């Protein structure tokens, strides 16, 4: 491991090693960059700091310099790379077709293997990547956190700001924690749920590592909507993680292991599509072909699997409900999750889903596709930048002044809920598919879960059931 800022290779003996490093860094993906700077205005970290090295062009220059032997690892290099959200807004904006996302994955893998992080940083990263993608571990931790909240310890900790005395990151993690649903709500979804009426197809459904515990009502709503749309829904019991967290953290070997397990799991059932309601997971699963490109026996399977992956909005947007949607007289603004808008280029479908609901008034959100600062575990690792982006997002949402803000990703929902709660806003963060579910079936228990963890007052929504 090195923390040196000395160029890695300035001798011919190291040329081969340098070529390999350039490949692993993803330099070939950056070769098309002409330094035009057209991506700068879309980059959240550049918008926030105004610093060139915090822009896509600056990061590309750093990574290329390293891969070409003109630069070395330094804390500055790693800091600017760590600060990247991986939101891919730059990729959308780039007219030269630079595949920044693949280069970022390669660069992060090299950093994780060759750079010696400070112990606290290393420890926090180790903890997060060994917890979130493993449902069995997460379940135990969340069980403890449920009682931590239920017994009122959380209120005392937040009120006294006790955790910030020890660690900003820990305080941030605690603040991000939504009201943990009762463990009895974590019950698994049925392995097979029949279509309502005439069956039009059979889909698999990804329940997500954290989502199955933190937002179980969202998964149930998704299954209800899919079955109402005529799909039989298959939920494999032993599904693990999609690998997104490891992919974005530079552990490509573990991401590949998880991708293979996911492919094998869904291959056991013949399904037309694999439906996902979390943008980050869907984006990773659509890239399995690239992730497993070098593995002969897996590549074709990965391509076949990825071709079946659909965000739930891609399935629901085109639905003709034949008058089955009841009026939902609420106002909604829509935040575009980065891994939906930029990574999957899905923009029209969620809006179309929402516009299809009678009575719903959709208000366009200014800067709807600027990252909210969530970005997987970014908000836990980079709390300051994440906080600044969240404030910017909440300001825009408050300008829209709607009952709800819809977002198609669990990370965005938790992050935005936190911002709205801290700002004292009455706007609630929900997934677009929940709104469709409410229009189809009424609101579960009469009330949606609120950003304060409490039920929303019915009279505010004036929803007919
Ligand atoms: S990444 Fe694309 S948009 Fe950004 S500077 Fe390079 S060529 Fe220009
Ligand atoms: S991925 Fe997002 S944060 Fe990173 S350089 Fe691109 S636009 Fe900026």
Long-range contacts at 182-189 (CB < 8 A, ≥ 24 apart): 182/146, 183/143, 183/146, 185/216, 185/217, 186/139, 186/212, 186/213, 186/216, 187/216, 188/212, 188/235, 188/237, 189/219, 189/220, 189/223, 189/235
Look at the chain and count its residues.
Answer: 465
Q: How far is it, in rounded angstroms, from Cα 415 to Cα 413? A: 6
> Per CATH, which fold does 12-116 belong to?
Fumarate Reductase Iron-sulfur Protein; Chain B, domain 2 (1.10.1060)
The phi and psi torsions of 42 (rounded to 5 degrees) equal -100, -5
| pLDDT for res 106 | 87
Does residue 88 line the site of ligand 1, with CB under 6 A? no
- Tens of pLDDT along 51-64? 999 999 999 998 88
- What pLDDT does residue 172 have? 73
Ligand 2 atom with least separation from CA of 93: 7
Pocket-forming residues, ligand 2, beta carbon under 6 Å: 42-45, 56, 59, 84-90, 100
Does the beta carbon of 101 lie inside 6 Å of ligand 1?
no
Query: For residue 463, what pLDDT is reported?
Result: 34
User: Which residue has its alpha carbon closest to ligand 2 atom 7?
Assistant: 43
Per CATH, 185-315 and 321-461 having the same topology is answered: yes
Ligand 2 atom nearest to CA at 46:
8
Q: In Å, how far from its chain's centre is CA 388? A: 18
Predicted local distance difference test score (pLDDT) of residue 6: 42
Q: How far is the CA of 62 from the centre of ligand 1 (A)?
A: 14
Whether 454 shows a pLDDT value over 60: the answer reads no
- What are the pLDDT digits (tens) for 240-283? 899 999 999 889 999 999 999 999 999 998 999 999 999 999 99
Above 90 in pLDDT, residue 403?
yes
The pLDDT value given to residue 393 = 98
pLDDT in tens, 344-385: 999 999 999 999 999 999 999 999 999 999 988 898 889 889
Q: Helix, strand, or coil here: 91? A: helix
Q: Contact, 403 vs 374, CB < 8 A?
A: no
> For the chain, what are the domain ranges?
12-116, 120-184, 185-315, 321-461
* 9 pLDDT above the threshold of 60: no
**How sure is the predictor about 16, in pLDDT bands with cuts at 50, 70 and 90?**
low
Selection from 338, 278, 298, 312 nearest residue 133 by Cα = 278
Which of residues 164 and 205 earns the better pLDDT score? Answer: 205
Was domain 185-315 assigned CATH 3.40.50? yes
CA of 110 to the centre of ligand 1 (A): 22
Average pLDDT, the chain: 88
Q: Kindly tell me if the per-residue pLDDT of 234 is higher than 90.
A: yes
Per-residue pLDDT, 15? 59
Pick the CATH number of 321-461 from 3.40.50, 3.30.200, 3.30.70, 3.30.1300: 3.40.50
pLDDT tens-digit series, residues 142-160? 999 999 999 999 888 888 8
**In whole angstroms, how large is the CA radius of gyration of the chain?**
22
| 35 in contact with ligand 1, CB cutoff 6 A | yes
Closest residue CA from atom 4 of ligand 1 = 39
Q: Which atom of ligand 1 is nearest to the CA of 34?
A: 7
Categorize the per-residue pLDDT at 79 as very low, low, confident or very high, splitting at 50, 70 and 90: very high
Nearest CA to ligand 2 atom 4: 84
């Amino acid at each position: 491991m090195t923390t040196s800022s000395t160029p890695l290779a300035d001798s011919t003996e190291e040329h081969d090693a340098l070529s390999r490093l350039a490949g692993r860094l993803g330099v070939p993906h950056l070769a098309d960059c002409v330094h035009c700077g057209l991506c700068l205005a879309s980059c959240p970290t550049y918008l926030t700091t105004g610093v060139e090295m915090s822009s896509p062009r600056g990061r590309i220059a750093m990574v290329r310099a390293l891969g070409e032997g003109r630069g070395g690892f330094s804390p500055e290099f790693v800091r600017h790379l760590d600060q990247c959200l991986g939101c891919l807004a730059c990729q959308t904006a780039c007219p030269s077709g630079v595949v920044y996302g693949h280069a970022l994955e390669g660069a992060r893998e090299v950093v994780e293997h060759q750079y010696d992080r400070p112990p606290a940083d290393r420890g926090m990263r180790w903890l997060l990547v060994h917890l979130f993608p493993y449902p069995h571990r997460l379940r135990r931790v969340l069980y403890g956190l449920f009682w931590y909240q239920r017994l009122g310890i959380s209120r005392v900790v937040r009120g006294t700001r006790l955790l910030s005395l020890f660690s900003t990151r820990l305080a941030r993690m605690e603040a991000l924690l939504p009201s943990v649903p009762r463990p009895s709500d974590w019950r698994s979804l049925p392995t097979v749920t029949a279509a309502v009426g005439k069956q039009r197809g059979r889909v698999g459904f990804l329940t997500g590592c954290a989502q199955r515990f933190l937002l179980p009502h969202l998964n149930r709503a998704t299954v209800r909507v899919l079955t109402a749309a005529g799909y039989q829904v298959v939920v494999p019991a032993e599904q693990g993680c999609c690998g997104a967290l490891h992919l974005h953290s530079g552990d490509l070997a573990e991401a590949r292991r998880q991708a293979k397990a996911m492919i094998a799991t869904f291959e056991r059932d013949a399904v037309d599509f694999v439906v996902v309601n979390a943008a980050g997971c869907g984006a990773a699963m659509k890239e399995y072909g690239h992730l497993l490109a070098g593995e002969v026996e897996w590549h074709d399977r990965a391509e076949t699997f990825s071709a079946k992956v659909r965000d739930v909005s891609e399935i629901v947007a085109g639905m003709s409900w034949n008058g089955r949607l009841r009026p939902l007289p609420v106002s909604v603004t829509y935040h575009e999750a980065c891994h939906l808008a930029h990574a999957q280029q899905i923009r029209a479908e969620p809006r179309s889903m929402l516009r299809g609901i009678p009575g719903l008034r959709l208000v366009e959100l200014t800067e709807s596709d600027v990252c909210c600062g969530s970005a997987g575990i970014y908000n836990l690792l980079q709390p300051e930048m994440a906080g600044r982006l969240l404030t910017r997002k909440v300001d825009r949402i408050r300008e829209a002044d709607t009952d709800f803000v819809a977002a198609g990703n669990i990370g965005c929902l938790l992050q935005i809920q936190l911002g709205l709660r801290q700002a004292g806003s009455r706007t609630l963060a929900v997934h677009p598919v929940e709104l469709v579910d409410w229009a189809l079936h009424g609101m579960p228990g009469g009330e949606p879960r609120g950003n304060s963890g409490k039920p929303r007052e019915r009279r505010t929504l004036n929803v007919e059931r």
